[in-house]
Amino acid sequence: MICCAGYPFVDGCDTTFEVDTSRIKYGSGALREIGVDARDLGMSRVMLVTDPGLVTMPFVDTVVTSLRTAGCDVAIFADARVEPTDRSFADATAFARAGNFDGYVSIGGGSAIDTAKAANLYATFPDDFDAYVNAPIGRGKAVPGALRPHIACPTTCGTGAEVTGIAIFDYLAHHAKTGIVSKRIRPTLGIIDPDVTMSLPKTVVACSGFDVLSHALESFTARPYTARAKPTSSAPRPTSQGANPFSDMACREAMRILGGNIVRAATDPSDAQARERMMFAATLAGIGFGNAGVHIPHAMSYAIAGSVRTYRAPDYPPNDAIVPHGMAVVVNAPAVFRFTAEANPVRHLEAAGLLGADIAGVDERDAGEILATRIEALMRATGMPNGTSGVGFDARDGAMLRDGALPQQRLLANAPRATGSGELEALFARALAYW
Ligand SMILES: [Fe+2]
């Protein structure tokens, strides 16, 4: 027997999937309505989380004005760190505990939104920091109950953090990027106003766009939910369920939009329509990967981002060595999809077509090469680095990067092919340069 999307059912494996997402309000001008939304959710004393680069932007003032007009007290925490750490999460938590807030609003990229998720969690259910962090680095304790309402307002057309129950951070003592994953930390409402993306620099749009592309592509090619062991009656189904009919639908449309708009949005800041489309694709892909889960490119990205030496990305804070998240993901993507294609060539070929490759009359055995070549073309057209060597790594770093990615077992288990130490080392070698 097969499921409605063609996945074969397997004895002992799951036959059910769930669709969890935040409520969404989407459209030009939507941010001006946030005060009414906050009051509707019962908020009266609000912690607003943003980062130092955004706090003076007009859209933050729009949000604060709307909240105050609706009668909310607003305290601004503007120290969310781009690429947050356990230390920056702790700072936000201390602010949250001291303020006794009954609601949270976040404005920014995934970093600000994830910081608000963590502050809300630790202020509502205080515990030692390791308690809720993913095992094996943390203890992976279940969040005991509902958090305070949280309205998340993304300002990059990228992360999808407004619809996911995932908060990612650098755990400084462990030199590892890890996260907190729970449906309970998902924002209550995502307000997605594409007007905020019009002032984004080109590299920020490109990096965010490739994060979206990889969310959609990894979710679409993930191990299907019907291949994951059925959960026991006492255990919840994991957030990373694997590819399923609902995530497939969202990811297909996200990839179709990306294929036609990522180059326009990232190279022409005046192309408002392309940026608006990218924002919608980011939301769709966020819903997709929030219910399916990503796999190898994201697992590898955490080793890349966590081991950066001197690389500084254009349009990002000049004082920090940083490989932005979407860039750290996409430099691995061509190597990974050449590797995973044999698990499901039809699906990889369909993805290549959705992203704009000409797949008429091609041989399915070439699916991985066709998909990887299309990703490379989009990378070149938007000024992305040529693989990991473009962000400062060389062949001597292979073992170190492998060891950095190997602990990401939650993601690697979601890959369509078994991916252990040897496979990771080979993938890092192939990801050094593409052209
Ligand atoms: Fe991502």
Same domain, 223 and 363: yes
Judge whether residue 89 has pLDDT over 80: yes
Whole-number Å distance, alpha carbon 303 to ligand 1 midpoint, is 13
24 alpha-carbon distance from chain centroid: 17
The residues, ordered by sequence, that sit 6+ positions from 366 with a Cβ below 8 Å of its Cβ are: none
Whole-number Å distance, alpha carbon 207 to ligand 1 midpoint, is 10
Whole-number Å distance, alpha carbon 326 to ligand 1 midpoint, is 6
Q: What is the mean pLDDT of residues 206-211?
A: 95
Amino acid at 330: V
Whole-number Å distance, alpha carbon 128 to ligand 1 midpoint, is 26
Whole-number Å distance, alpha carbon 30 to ligand 1 midpoint, is 24
Same domain, 183 and 245: no
Mark the residues whose beta carbon lies below 5 A from ion ligand 1: 211
Whole-number Å distance, alpha carbon 11 to ligand 1 midpoint, is 32
Q: What is the mean pLDDT of residues 135-146?
A: 92
Instruction: Determine the Cα–Cα distance for residues 346 and 243; give it in Å rounded to an integer.
Output: 14
Res 269: pLDDT: 84
Whole-number Å distance, alpha carbon 289 to ligand 1 midpoint, is 9
Is 10 among the domain residues?
A: no
Whole-number Å distance, alpha carbon 270 to ligand 1 midpoint, is 25
Whole-number Å distance, alpha carbon 432 to ligand 1 midpoint, is 20
**Domain assignment of residue 75, given as a range:** 29-192
Nearest to 420 by CA among 408, 433, 432, 435: 408
Whole-number Å distance, alpha carbon 215 to ligand 1 midpoint, is 6
Whole-number Å distance, alpha carbon 206 to ligand 1 midpoint, is 13
Nearest to 85 by CA among 323, 306, 412: 306
**Could you say which of 158, 192, 226 is where a domain stops?**
192
Res 53: pLDDT: 87
Same domain, 255 and 164: no
Q: Is 249 helix (H, G, I), strand (E, B) or coil?
A: helix
Whole-number Å distance, alpha carbon 32 to ligand 1 midpoint, is 28
Neighbours of 95 (CB within 10 A): 18
Same domain, 270 and 368: yes
Whole-number Å distance, alpha carbon 15 to ligand 1 midpoint, is 27
Nearest to 278 by CA among 386, 363, 196: 196
Judge whether residue 298 has pLDDT over 80: yes
Is 14 among the domain residues?
A: no
Same domain, 362 and 301: yes
Whole-number Å distance, alpha carbon 6 to ligand 1 midpoint, is 27
Provide φ and ψ at 31, rounded to 5°: -65, -30
Instruction: Determine the Cα–Cα distance for residues 302 and 404; give it in Å rounded to an integer.
Output: 7
Whole-number Å distance, alpha carbon 216 to ligand 1 midpoint, is 10
Task: For residue 72, give the CATH number of its domain.
Answer: 3.40.50.1970
Whole-number Å distance, alpha carbon 318 to ligand 1 midpoint, is 22
Is 17 among the domain residues?
A: no
Same domain, 127 and 274: no
Q: Work out whether strand 189-192 and strand 103-108 pair parallel, antiparallel, or are unpaired.
A: unpaired
* Helices 245-267, 202-221: inter-axial angle, 10-degree rounding: 160
Res 396: pLDDT: 97
Is 316 among the domain residues?
A: yes
Is 404 among the domain residues?
A: yes
Whole-number Å distance, alpha carbon 255 to ligand 1 midpoint, is 15
Whole-number Å distance, alpha carbon 66 to ligand 1 midpoint, is 30
Total-model pTM: 0.91
Is 11 among the domain residues?
A: no
Nearest to 357 by CA among 273, 264, 256: 256
Provide φ and ψ at 11, rounded to 5°: -55, 130
Whole-number Å distance, alpha carbon 232 to ligand 1 midpoint, is 29
Whole-number Å distance, alpha carbon 349 to ligand 1 midpoint, is 22
How many domains would you assign to the chain?
Answer: 2
Q: What is the mean pLDDT of residues 71-97?
A: 95
Whole-number Å distance, alpha carbon 184 to ligand 1 midpoint, is 19
Same domain, 239 and 337: yes
CB-CB contact of 252 with 284 (8 Å): no
Q: In what order do the strands lie in the sheet with 73-77?
A: 23-26, 189-192, 150-154, 103-108, 45-49, 73-77
Q: pLDDT-derived band of residue 366, with 50, 70 and 90 as boundaries? A: very high
Whole-number Å distance, alpha carbon 332 to ligand 1 midpoint, is 13
Instruction: Determine the Cα–Cα distance for residues 60 and 396; give it in Å rounded to an integer.
Output: 45
Is 23 among the domain residues?
A: no
Same domain, 336 and 389: yes
Same domain, 69 and 162: yes
Res 322: pLDDT: 87
Res 351: pLDDT: 98
Whole-number Å distance, alpha carbon 110 to ligand 1 midpoint, is 9
Res 6: pLDDT: 79
Q: Is 174 helix (H, G, I), strand (E, B) or coil?
A: helix
Instruction: Determine the Cα–Cα distance for residues 128 and 409; give it in Å rounded to an integer.
Output: 23
315: alpha, beta or left? (left if phi > 0; alpha if psi -120 to 50)? left
Res 234: pLDDT: 65
Instruction: Determine the Cα–Cα distance for residues 380 and 362; give it in Å rounded to an integer.
Output: 23
CB-CB contact of 207 with 313 (8 Å): yes
Is 24 among the domain residues?
A: no
Task: For residue 214, give the CATH number of its domain.
Answer: 1.20.1090.10
Amino acid at 64: V
